[in-house]
Amino acid sequence: MNSSSRLELVDALRGFAIVSIMLLHNLEHFDLYHLPDGQPGWLVALDKGIWETAFFLFGGKSYLIFALLFGLTFQIQFARRAAQGEDFRPRFAWRMVLLLGFGLVNSLFYQGDILSYYAVMAFALLPVARLGDRAVLAIACALLLQPYGWYEVLQALPQPDAKLADPASWTYFGRGNAYLANGTLLETWYGNLTNGKTAAVLWSWENGRMFQIPALFMLGMLAGRAGVFALSVTNRAWWRRTLAVAALCFAALYAAKLGIESQVAGEALRRPLVMIVKSWANFALMGVIVAGFALLYQQGVVTRALQAFAPLGRMSLTSYLMQSVVGTTLYYGFGLGLYRYTGASVCLLIGIALALLQGLFSAWWLKRHKQGPLETLWHRATWVGAGRTQAAAV
């Protein structure tokens, strides 16, 4: 498998995921939900349409793409070290400790940080890294089935109409609005690391992400083994089949989700069923997006347009932290407080402008440096104590 051709597509896809995540975060005011007062009816309707479209396309899908590529990157690194007779897993564990540090710094600004989750859940890759493809696939599928969700379904069967308490995360998110809207920088930092982190962890559990994320890591690892991101005629055919299957599955699962929401009256039964089927529908639509992107990337003139995402993808760690610092400074109370005045339409324009600026900065930086600034720091810290030749080989 040609490494450079694989990384071309992977970098561009990772950059696309970063941009879509950035747009969603801007629409949400980085978790500070607020509708501005006094807007005309046409703008309210436009905001609603933009919000629903953006979250239909990318909500719950972009982070799955990011997780898939995370597992793929692990496989690339693991295979390179294995080819030299070395076990990458101890160094990877240290690398994840470092990523947790980056994630906690990011969590100061944005409570919904995903880096810290990835750092912890990535340890699930260590025991499966040397298993065969079938075993890894079986484990990933078992996780994707949402086993705890089915446990809740079984619990609800005797009393499907039982009234459920609001999800626990709602209480913490509600508390967070006060310091996000009106707190100082230090109050925001403290609130995000305590109350906000609790809210985000609970929300991830309630929505099945604790099972989805390691499953996507494993599927990304398998994709790396199979070499499906290489630019080849064989892989184009594979992506076409994947696109067709994923589209059919999404259509069926989305219809099933709507049916459950409208036909299952009992809340105790409806809530876990919706969570399970929604997680599957998001996974299927992610497959549509990834397959469609992979096919479009090999369509001549479209390729050049999609390559614009690659610098952001190569600097994904820097890009992700930068968007949190800049975005929260724009919207939160300690900064400009734009949450008071901006609906989805304006936030979308802000998000597009920030993505363009980040893309230009990334392209400028990479013309002068091999890696992004935080990527360089992460790489050097990962290989501290190793010789230069060993570190350069990864």
Q: Please report the DSSP string for 47-113 in residue order.
A: HHHHHHHHHHHHTTTHHHHHHHHHHHHHHHHHHHHHHTT---HHHHHHHHHHHHHHHHHHHHH-TT-
- Distance CA(240)–CA(230), nearest Å, equals 14
- Distance CA(253)–CA(126), nearest Å, equals 32
- Distance CA(106)–CA(118), nearest Å, equals 13
User: Is 231 strand, coil or helix?
Assistant: coil
Q: What is the CA radius of gyration of the chain?
A: 21
Say which residue the tokens 């710094």 belong to: 105
For the beta carbon of residue 269, count every other beta carbon within 10 angstroms.
Answer: 21
What is the full per-residue pLDDT of the chain (394 aa) written as tens digits? 344 444 889 999 999 999 999 999 999 999 999 999 989 999 999 999 999 999 999 999 999 999 999 999 999 999 999 999 999 999 999 999 999 999 999 999 999 999 999 999 999 999 999 999 999 999 999 999 999 999 999 999 999 999 899 999 999 999 999 999 999 999 999 999 999 999 999 999 999 999 999 999 999 999 999 999 999 999 999 999 999 999 999 999 999 999 999 999 899 999 999 999 999 999 999 999 999 999 999 887 788 899 999 999 999 999 999 999 999 999 999 999 999 999 999 999 999 999 999 999 999 999 999 999 999 999 999 999 776 555 555 5
What pLDDT is attached to residue 304?
85
- Phi and psi at 339, nearest 5°, equal -55, -30
Whether the CA torsion 114, 120, 122, 128 is positive or negative: it is negative
- Distance CA(102)–CA(320), nearest Å, equals 10
What pLDDT is attached to residue 248?
98
What pLDDT is attached to residue 394?
52
What pLDDT is attached to residue 2?
42
**Among 150, 109, 11, residue whose Cα is nearest residue 329:** 109
